[in-house]
Structure 1
Amino acid sequence: MLVLVTLLTGACWFSNSAWANSPDRLSRILQQKSLRVCIWPDYYSITFRNPRTGQLNGFDIDMAQQFAKDLGVELTFVNSSFAALMDNLVGDQCDIAMHGVAITEARLEKLSFSEPYLKSDFYAVTTKSHPTVTQWDDIDKPDVVVGIMGGTVMEPVMRKALRQAQIELIYAPKTREQELEAGRIDVFITDYPYSRKVLDNADWAALLGPSKPFFITNYAYAIAKVKTPGDQRWLNRINQFLLATKNDGRLLAIARRYKLERIAVSDKK
């Protein structure tokens, strides 16, 4: 037992020492000429893989390409999800998450965020023919089943907000649209970008918005929690990139390309 403890202690010391003496993340990215970006490939207009062509497109796909170009490095996309987000970043599976990550208190415990670049309220999607859910105020009623994608910011917020409706968590490979069209849920909660997917592709869908702001959410780029000066240097470089794209017009131009200009945070400084 004593030998085992000694070996484990030595292994931990070596790991920490090696980390302390290694270049910080930004230096490693530049030296290795490689940027690993976590994305959720089902996020329409943000980071979406076209099921017919297999090609990635969306606001943050284009922004990631611009960031890699500014850094002068190669870009690698790493498939992730909101449920796996924190584990992927903390586990060093990627250098940054660029897929419309909402800033929440729970995520701030393990992650650090850039300045916001998008902001959106919550929206609801139901069917045009639904007999009882025709406006936002119809959602929190008995016998209404509300679909929410597990791991998204909508989950904790709607758990607190809904008093009578039943919540049904949905995880891939299931989709909210499939569950709604099949009649297993009455409505689902989403944000502005994802609502565009439904409206662009389903003529049976109806969009319901709150009559007043419900939960305005800021979206930012995420990295593992800042703990060292090197981590802060990496976060500063990300914010430098965002500021540059706001000032030179790239951010707003990309937002317009994907019909997201109404939620873009493109104020210049």
Structure 2
Amino acid sequence: MRRTTTLSALALALVTAVGGAVFTTAQAGSAAPNGARTLLDAVPRRGVLRVCTTGDYRPFSYLDPKTSTYTGIDIDMAKNLASSLGVKISFVPTTWAKLVDDLTARKCDMSMGGVSVTLARAQKAYFSTPYLTDGKAAIARCADKDKYQTLDAIDQPGVRVIVNPGGTNEKFVTANIKKATVITHADNNTIFDEIVAGRADVMITDASETKYEAKLHPELCALNPDKPFTFGEKAYLLPRGDEEFKQYVDQWVHLTTHDGTYAGYAAAWQN
């Protein structure tokens, strides 16, 4: 009886080990179609790097509705990454609400365009090494800038806080704005025009975006963007389980953020 128990335990351990190995291989392969074990192999075979991006978040990703052309810091970075792999680039439209789902459904190989690092997203996907430190800050009409210097001053009855749905901006507003009126505006490309027109008072978004939009709209002022309400980071969203591809992207991020490549792309949007 003792011998049988020992053999059964060994058999169970062997099955578990084999099953675990099969699961790990399948998981890694799930991110890489066409039989490749990793996107690091699959992308060069395909000849195209597919990047999901919202196209509504300047200065990182912007889709011009007239020309259907993408521009932005992360658009240039995506092209640089594709070039490093010797492939073409293809941008796949997505929304903030569907950003992670489109990646896990294999509609693209990665997501780029000012994506904030969050634990909720990290449960379903990998993040690359961060390339930018950021945080939530406010933007308002310059005539009202002294009224909205703190989060408490913003969260008051009669103040209209406008927000785009589906991303970290909405999550921040939901968690922190209790007294002010919240206005949801689906088009992030026109949301700042609502403040200029007086149909909203404040928007809370990433500090990097407040600074850029204040340059586009002289009527608007970024409020304390160097002292944001929160700590945040920007990174690129990658398929969970593909270690080889993540290591490659991490090394690429490290090099491009230290050799002047990223700084060069960003400088073009700071003027």
Shared fold (TM-score, shorter chain, > 0.5) = yes
Between 205-214 and 17-26, report the one with greater CA deviation.
Answer: 17-26
Q: Structure 1 residues 251-260 or 104-113, which shifts more?
A: 251-260
Partner SS, residue 56 of structure 1: strand
1:149 aligned onto 2:164? yes
Query: How far apart in 1 are the matches of 2:147 and 2:196?
Result: 14
- Report the residue type matching 1:83 in the other structure: A
User: For residue 59 of structure 2, what is the aligned residue in structure 1?
Assistant: 45
> Is structure 2 residue 92 aligned with structure 1 residue 78?
yes
**CA offsets per residue over residues 69-111 of structure 1, 9 Å max, x none?**
1000111011112111011101111001111110112111211
Q: Which runs of 5+ in 2 are unaligned?
A: 1-25
**Shift of residue 210 of structure 1?**
6.7
**Mapping 1:5-154, distance limit 5 Å:** 22-23=35-36, 24-130=38-144, 133-136=147-150, 137-154=152-169
Task: Give the drift of 1:131.
Answer: 9.3
The answer to which of 132-141 and 72-81 deviates more is 132-141
Unaligned runs of 5+ in 1: 1-15, 261-269
TM-score after normalising by structure 1: 0.80
Q: Distance in 2 between matches of 1:54 and 1:192?
A: 27
Deviation at 1:132, TM superposition (A): 8.1
Aligned-residue offset at 1:158: 2.8
The 1:250/1:162 distance shift into structure 2, 3 A limit, reads same
Aligned 8 A contact 1:78 1:94 in 2: yes
Moved more, 132-141 or 17-26: 17-26
Give the alignment of 1:163-174 within 5 angstroms: 163-172=178-187
Please state how far the C-alpha of 1:51 moved relative to its aligned partner: 4.4
Per the TM alignment, residue 35 of structure 1 is displaced from its structure 2 partner at its CA by 0.4
* Structure-2 residue corresponding to 1:177: 192
Largest Rg, 1 or 2: 2
Query: Which of residues 208, 214, 224 is equivalent to 1:199?
Result: 214
Aligned-pair distance for 1:56? 2.2
Compared CA separation, residues 28 and 54, structure 1 to 2 (3 A): same
Distance 1:141 1:186, change over 3 A: same
Stretch moving more, 144-153 or 168-177: 168-177
Number of aligned positions between the proteins: 241
Distance across 2 between alignment mates of 1:72 and 1:210: 38
Instruction: Provide the rounded CA distance (Å) in 2 between the counterparts of 1:25 and 1:214.
Output: 37
Residues 209-233 of structure 1 show CA distances to partners (whole Å, capped at 9, x for unaligned) of 278442121110002322xxxx111
Tell me how far apart the structure 1 counterparts of residues 71 and 96 of structure 2 sit (CA, whole Å). Answer: 18
Q: Percent identity?
A: 31
Q: Give the structure-2-normalised TM-score.
A: 0.79
Matched residue SS, 1:126: strand
